[in-house]
Structure 1
Amino acid sequence: MRTSALQTPQPASNTPPPPEPPPVGHRRLRLALGWGAVALLAGHASYQGGLAFDLMTAVMWAVSVVTDAAGVPFHLDWFGMSHRLAAVALGAGIAVATLRYQRRSRGACPRCGRHGHAARRDLTWLIRPASIVAAVPAIGYLALKLHWGFGGTLGLRDPAVFAGVKPWSPGMGDTAVMALIGVLVTFAMAYQRPRLPRWLLLAPALIGCLLLLPVGGISTGYLLLVWLSGDHSAFHGDLAAWVVIAVYPSFLIWGVGLAVVTVGFYFQTRRSCRRCGRG
């Protein structure tokens, strides 16, 4: 009996394709080398504030040019910034390659990291409290900078240290605006209101993490070492001791809270993977 040329169409299967077979080799060694290289490049880029201070100085330099603030000592280290940016780019490339290998070697999709049919987890319980943790130091920093910009002397040992400073002076209004944007972006990610494109929230959030975590971590570590060494000279400058103690560790708290919100928002809102179909 001849088989008909017209076959009954089969329904499309929603089952994702099986993952690629795990590569053989020294998995632990490869992962150690990959993540070790990423750590070294990240350390180089963030050494003594590194790229974070480069970005902040670039913002202040741009403001000083626009406002024609004469005598403001914001000079960009173009050579240093260029090789730190190169280190970040190279580190990001190695991190992506290492992460893909790590996922593939455990049988997951190398693009998204999903495996099996696990349901998407609701991370609201983590994201929203973290947004409060990030917003509190940001609002305090914003208020302090505006206070100084409008001529206030709270937290200043020498009231003349910011003499002649205006809200639009570099390092005052610009950093306050950046803090305000950070608060708005944080709450927009935590509550997903208003509905905005993911990249419009993730891009400034990632930049904020790159600024806050290195500066906050390095400054907090330095203050802790100075305190333990018994040399308290860092707490007797133009700023009151409580300002030094409150501001720099608050950058670390702010950065950690923002990082938690950013990562949670990324996983909460990511779509089905174009490679494996899982979502």
Structure 2
Amino acid sequence: MTRTIQNAPLPRAQRDASTEGRPAPGARRFPVGWAAFLALLTYGLAHVYWALGGSGFPFGAEDANPEYSAFEHIGRAQLAPWVAAGFLLSAGVALLLALPGRRRIPAPVLLGATAVSAAAVLGTLADFRILGNLAYVFMLRFSAINWTVINQVFAVVAVGLMVMSAVTYQRRVTGACVGCGRTDSGAGWTSSAAAARWGRKAAYTAVAVPLVYASTRWAWALGYPLGISDKMWQEGKEDHLWLFGAALATMGALGSLLTLGLVQRWGEVFPRWMIGLRGRRVPLALATVPASLVSVMVTTAGIMYIRLHFQGAFDDPKHNWGATVPETIWPVWGVALAAATLAYYFRRRGACKRCGRGGH
């Protein structure tokens, strides 16, 4: 009898409490909160250096391509102190998120500050050049990547880590598992069945939007000036721009079709024609990591085009709408792709090694 009592499993509440804050067995927990703090602090101090007169400031009037910048006419002396303050304040919030336990500052305030930091970076500092330079990476033209784009990537990664830390903090203060976010109250919209429903709608939306953009570029390459003036089409033809644009559009369209893998069987198990891999389970990260990165890049690119429209940066948008309007719906593409990716993760994540929830 004694042995039975000693070997009986702990109630779930006690088991969760005993494992709270500990890494899963056999795994090393990545300190994302501290990584976010260090990245934001480092970048904030870099902007302090630039504010004090250091060379190499990457934004505003000193941008490699200031016409794309939200701060095109603002110089380093005016802009760098504000950017430094923003990143240093974000580092302070990240530190509060990373420290164990609860804060005196209400959680909604910390989570709201995180959202503001992410929105500021994605809406002002980052732009479509991150997505454009990805093509240079595939073409092994690394010399074409400029200093501004490198800084944009660093800023996006820093606030991305901050968002991940905020998610972990929110789980911790609400009593959810910090590993998977599940609670004893039920999965709700994060359940596999629910995610399958709303994830399918998101995936189909993420497929449709880039095809709208691609259709204009294919039309130009085939000789039809869809949405642009004859003069603009002729100028682009002479410089072979439309062939290059059609190639990029085709890459985007093929990528959008891969989005279907988030809701199709071949996105979970390698199909038969993939010799050496057929029948094997598709690693979760192989689908979620690239899709998450693309969702961020197309969203920032779309936000930039919307911003430039409001700034009046495009000539004759009424007659050349095909050159800029399709890009303004890219945020819909990015959000839909992010949602479809999240649904895919919810469907496939299985039981949590930390809390044991999710098992069948």
TM (norm. structure 1) is 0.74
Asked if 1:54 is matched to 2:130, the reply is yes
Equivalent residue pairs, number = 256
1:204 pairs with 290, 298, 317, which one? 290
- Counterpart in the other structure of 1:234: 314
Tell me if the contact between 2:295 and 2:334 (Cα under 8 Å) persists in the aligned partners: yes
Gaps of 5+ in 1: 67-73
Tell me the SS of whatever aligns to 1:234.
coil
What does residue 86 of structure 1 align with? 154
Output the CA distance in 2 between the equivalents of 1:113 and 1:194.
24
The verdict on how the C-alpha distance between 1:34 and 1:163 changes in structure 2, with shifts beyond 3 A counting, is: same
The structure-2 alpha-carbon separation of the partners of 1:188 and 1:76, relative to structure 1 and needing over 3 Å to count, comes to same
Aligned residue for 1:139?
211
Quote the offset at 1:276 in angstroms: 1.0
Write out aligned runs for 1:1-279 (5 A).
7=3, 10=7, 12=9, 15=12, 17-19=15-17, 20=20, 23-28=101-106, 32-33=109-110, 35-37=112-114, 39-40=116-117, 43-44=120-121, 46-47=123-124, 50-60=126-136, 63=139, 65=141, 75-78=144-147, 80-116=148-184, 118-119=186-187, 120-122=191-193, 123-157=195-229, 158=231, 159-164=233-238, 165=240, 169=244, 171-181=245-255, 183-195=256-268, 196-223=282-309, 225=310, 234=314, 236=316, 240-244=319-323, 246-279=325-358
Aligned-residue Cα RMSD (Å) equals 3.5
CA distance in 2, matches of 1:83, 1:221: 20
- Percent of residue pairs bearing the same amino acid type: 21
CA deviation vs aligned residue, 1:3-23 (integer Å, no higher than 9, x gap): 99xx45846568472344993
Q: Distance in 2 between matches of 1:129 and 1:163?
A: 38
Structure 2 residue runs of 5 or longer lacking an equivalent are 22-99, 269-281
3-state SS of 1:18 partner: helix
CA contact (8 A) 1:149 1:173 kept: no
Checking the alignment, whether the CA contact within 8 Å between 1:205 and 1:258 is kept in structure 2 is yes
Distance 1:240 1:204 in 2: 36
Q: 1:102-152: per-residue Cα shift (whole Å, max 9, x none)? A: 211111111211111525352222122222222222122223223333444
Return closer, same or farther for 1:112/1:144 CA change in 2, 3 Å cut-off: same
Work out which structure has the larger RCO, using CA pairs closer than 8 Å and 6 or more positions apart in sequence: 1
